[in-house]
Amino acid sequence: MQHWWFPANASSYGGQLDSLFFVILYITGAVFLIVEVALLYFLFRYRRGANQTATYIEGSTAAEIVWTTIPAAICIFLALFSQRLWSEIKDPDRIPPDAVPLEITAKQFEWHIRYPGPDGRQGSDDDFSKRNELHVVVGRNYAFRLTSEDVIHSFFVPVFRLKQDAVPGMHLSGWFRPTSTGQWEIACAELCGLGHYRMRGRVWVHTAEDFDRWQASQAAGAAPAAPPADSVASSGARAS
Ligand SMILES: [Cu+2]
């Protein structure tokens, strides 16, 4: 289902994640309404008045059992309810075996994406890297390995419902399958320094033919392009 206040959904598991979000929203929304209505009622009912006197209340074991058991039951229900989808998305053992491997490296304040090239394998001669540009094919599975060169960042693609922390010294994996063509935003979702607000990239979901054409143009101009004027000056080796 698609909601007007949500970004578009363009990944295979986005719809299920949205449904899970709404289940949690309905439960927490109902609790919020009940609590607020009760709060207002008690504020009004027991406001200061001529005939009100203060009384001392000992507490109630029964009430404590009730307000501990119900939230615990809700939390356990949500944990069990979301476990299947969570493990489908996050379990490294369940990454589709046919997925195209991508290496994504975050640093202040940009994303470096290393593509496997036409042979589909990382670490071979036809690999190439792009800065802040993620190009993928609709309907194809992608597996990424994500790391950071400096501080903690978070790789966030709202239309894929994908968010994963990038942690220096760790290579965290994940996967996605785009379901519609288009062009959208990649954001950093972890405050990572003064330039955090402009740490954004773009994702292009192509048809297979468009992607092949784009990839061929990358191989043709294999020499590293000059970084755009707004890039942060970076010394040392670049990730290509
Ligand atoms: Cu960042």
What pLDDT score does 232 carry?
Answer: 45
What residue spans define the domains of the chain? 14-47+59-90, 97-220
134 C-alpha to ligand 1 centroid (Å) = 16
CA dihedral 104, 16, 90, 185 (to 10 degrees): 20
Alpha carbon separation from 10 to 83, 96, 182 (Å, rounded): 22, 18, 9
Q: Report how far ligand 1's centroid is from the alpha carbon of 239 (Å).
A: 17
Q: Has residue 59 got a pLDDT over 60?
A: yes
Per-residue pLDDT reduced to its tens digit, 165-213: 999 999 999 999 999 999 999 999 999 999 999 999 999 999 999 999 9
Banded pLDDT at 238 (limits 50, 70, 90):
very low
Angstrom distance (rounded) from CA 82 to CA 8: 22
Exposure string for 131-168, b = 16+ CB within 10 A, e = fewer? bbbbbbbbebbbbbbbbbeebebbbbbbbbbbebbbbe
- Centre of ligand 1 to C-alpha 41, Å, is 45
CA 72 / ligand 1 centre spacing (Å): 35
pLDDT band at 57 (very low <50, low <70, confident <90, very high): confident
Query: φ, ψ for residue 28 (rounded to 5)?
Result: -70, -35
Pick the CATH number of 97-220 from 3.40.190.10, 3.40.50.11720, 1.10.10.10, 2.60.40.420: 2.60.40.420
Give me ligand 1 centre to Cα 170, in Å.
15
Residue 11 is classified by DSSP as: B
Tokens of 99: 């997925």
Dist. CA 104 → ligand 1 center (Å): 13
According to the model, what pLDDT value does residue 234 have?
A: 43
Give the distance, in angstroms, between the CA of residue 146 and the centroid of all CA atoms in the same chain: 13
pLDDT digits (tens, 9 = 90+) for 115-169: 999 999 999 889 999 999 999 999 999 999 999 999 999 999 999 999 999 999 9
111 CA from centroid of ligand 1 (Å): 9
Q: Structure pTM?
A: 0.81
- State what percent of residues in the chain have pLDDT above 90: 78
237 CA distance to ligand 1 centroid (A)? 19
Of 89, 111, 114, the residue nearest 100 (C-alpha): 114
Give start and end residues of each alpha helix (H) in the chain. Answer: 14-45, 61-90, 208-220
- Distance of CA 210 from the midpoint of ligand 1 (Å): 30
Q: Compute how many other C-beta atoms are within 10 angstroms of the C-beta atom of residue 84.
A: 10
pLDDT at 237 over 60: no
Starting at the earlier edge strand, list the strands of the sheet with 142-148: 128-131, 110-115, 100-107, 142-148, 172-176
For 78-128, the pLDDT digits (tens) are 999 999 999 999 999 999 999 999 999 999 999 999 999 999 999 988 999
Distance from the alpha carbon of residue 192 to the mean position of ligand 1, in angstroms: 4
Report the separation in Å between the CA atom of 240 and the middle of ligand 1, taken as the mean of its atom positions: 20
Q: What is the Å distance from ligand 1's center to 73 Cα?
A: 37
What residues does the ion ligand 1 have nearby, CB within 5 Å?
Answer: 153, 188, 192, 199
